[in-house]
Structure 1
């Protein structure tokens, strides 16, 4: 939600300050952050008049636009800055390059991560289902655990696995149902990235004769 407030520290007392939903800075300061391209998209959609005033007029605005529209990652952004020959633009290009690299790393992690749904056998009658790595796909684990509890009418909670990572543990064998619900609820999780695992209780060795 856009926050509008009156701040006494503003250059003009009583002036309304619009804060960016992306970086949370006053929109006039978005250009100094690393998320400028996303800030600009948000501002253009939410406050087109303000966007036009800040980014569609003036030589500096044109430079910022060209840097923000660079799509080749850090190298392209740096190249644009070198052409411009402006130290401020170079700094901004570097910040944008870092932001793009960060987003790429997050995307690569999502593509390589498996959501592991494990069917766990405790006794002959007791089964559990654990789900790991959902948070990599920007899923709130607490909300997901609550949804699973309501959907399957059983206990569902967060716990730590052997790797000290958060996972959701559901009382009962609902692994197939969990997979179907994940695909329906969170389309961002590819089916190929969901792995079903069986964890059976090891039988005790028979005593020697």
Structure 2
């Protein structure tokens, strides 16, 4: 995990990434992919390091982040498929919570493949919805971390990247779910409005 002293800086980076993803994810999809690739790469790299000194963890985070960002940007055309697969996996886990336990691996794989295929046929809507959902949750985690919430502070420097997953342990209060939903709706509306104006301007220019 990242050194605890880096929690504030990490939370600020999460907040910036969350804002861009939630409210401009469609227009800035490459940038959003790069930011989230950097974050996931950094978290994965530091989780593999175990207990190390601050400088070693910092170098690992930067190296992992750069690799993650480059991979995500290079996989731009696959990014929509990844978003669709992620949304499908999230939906399956939400449904499976009523069944108890975790869904079987084979079902998760099938659902992710189907989600990716559907996403590729509905690019704009999937990107808007996926980035709004991810950005909204990232904003909540970042805001709580900056406010001093212990669980969110752990999320900001976690060695386990999945603590940033919406079903992770950041408190679980109902207001967090309500805020997540509200921010997601706001993000979707803003993105649809702004991307619609951009499309119309391009049409007139053409």
Alignment TM-score, normalising by the size of structure 1: 0.24
Which has the larger share of helix? 2
Quick check: which has more Rg, 1 or 2? Answer: 1
Q: Which has the higher contact order (CA 8 A, sep 6+)?
A: 2
Which has the larger share of strand? 1
Alignment TM-score, normalising by the size of structure 2: 0.24
